[in-house]
Amino acid sequence: MSARFRELDWRRTPLGELVLRRRWDPVFDREVHEIKLNDEFLMSSLFTVSEVELARLALEGGSAPLDVVVGGLGLGYTARTVLENGAVRSLLVVDALGEVIDWHRQGLLPGGRELAADPRCTLLHGDFFAMSRAGGFDPAVPDRLFHAIVVDIDHSPRHLLHPGNADFYEPAGIARVAERLHPGGVFALWSNEPPDDDYAAALADVFVEVRPEVVRFHNPLQQRDATSTVYLATKAG
């Protein structure tokens, strides 16, 4: 295989074929890590602005100590941004793919070993959506409350990786998320699509303050600006 391209790992998972690869991009003169599920790109280190902004916006204005749960590990940019916030006391990261957690622990991804070794951080293999329905996100502390719940799993509330995730975005699922938050806590959700008025309205039926934040970043592959959406919903204090 070319020195410019290396498949670091390949796994067969319940969701399909999962591939981690590293390549040298001569256009941008940098190393790029990518995760693919079947024929679909899940993550690329070429585009990380929205992952970073998701964490930054979720914790903006929060005061110590903060207990945070992140749904979706991916390349780790959201989790690492959470830990850069000095007010964070604990971080629980839930991912349905144990293989992705292994890649971080083995150091196959930049910053992965440091993330896994941070004493504030716990990487947990589990189904985030199933956990939201029963028992909560921390198996050691049933019904544990968090100051922020940050989610980057599906492409959007309408474009899902699995149809079984759909109820998370419906009124009952939104209410369950709110129940997992301390008063004044924040639910933050990443979406690859423009703001969805119907979903924002469903959030507003449960949370006292809802703000879809459009994140803009440059797409060097297409030489144009691109956008994603971060939904921010605050529970009554």
How many Cβ atoms are within 10 Å of 180's Cβ, its own excluded?
Answer: 20
Arithmetic mean of pLDDT, 178-200: 98
The mean pLDDT value for 70-77 works out to 96
231 and 210 in contact (C-beta within 8 Å)?
yes
Each residue of 42-60: pLDDT tens digit?
788 888 899 999 999 999 9
Most confident among 38-42, 43-47, 117-121, 219-223 (mean pLDDT): 117-121
Query: Is residue 154 over pLDDT 70?
Result: yes
Query: Count of alpha carbons within 13 Å of 128, Cβ hemisphere only?
Result: 25
Of 87, 89, 97, 84, the C-alpha closest to 122 is 89
Give the C-alpha separation, 43 to 10, whole Å: 15
pLDDT band at 198 (very low <50, low <70, confident <90, very high): very high
- pLDDT score for 149: 98
pLDDT above 80 for 206? yes
Distance between CA atoms of 27 and 4, rounded to whole angstroms?
12
C-beta separation of 74 from 43 below 8 A: yes
Neighbours of 227 (CB within 10 A): 14
pLDDT confidence of residue 179: 98
Least confident of 78-87, 166-175, 222-231: 222-231
Report how far apart, in Å, the C-alpha atoms of 228 and of each of 49, 72, 96, 201, 225 are. 10, 17, 23, 18, 11
Of 171, 179, 183, 182, give the one whose Cα is nearest residue 68. 182
Banded pLDDT at 39 (limits 50, 70, 90): confident
Rounded to the nearest angstrom, the gap between the alpha carbon of residue 126 and the centroid of all alpha carbons in its chain is 14
**What pLDDT is stored for residue 218 in this prediction?**
75
Residues 79-111 pLDDT 10s: 999 999 999 999 999 999 999 999 999 999 999
What distance in Å separates the CA atoms of residue 12 and residue 172, rounded to the nearest whole number?
A: 33
Distance CA 110, CA 7 (A): 15
Under 8 Å CB-to-CB from 233, ≥6 apart: which residues? 178, 186, 187, 188, 189, 203, 204, 206, 207, 209, 210, 211
3-class SS of residue 10: strand
CA distance linking residue 151 with residue 197, whole number of Å: 19
Q: Is the pLDDT of residue 37 over 60?
A: yes
Q: Cα–Cα distance between 127 and 136 in angstroms, integer?
A: 11
**Portion of the chain with pLDDT greater than 70, in percent:** 97
37 or 222: which leads in pLDDT: 37
- Average pLDDT value over all residues in the chain: 93
What would the mean pLDDT of 151-180 be, rounded to a whole number? 96
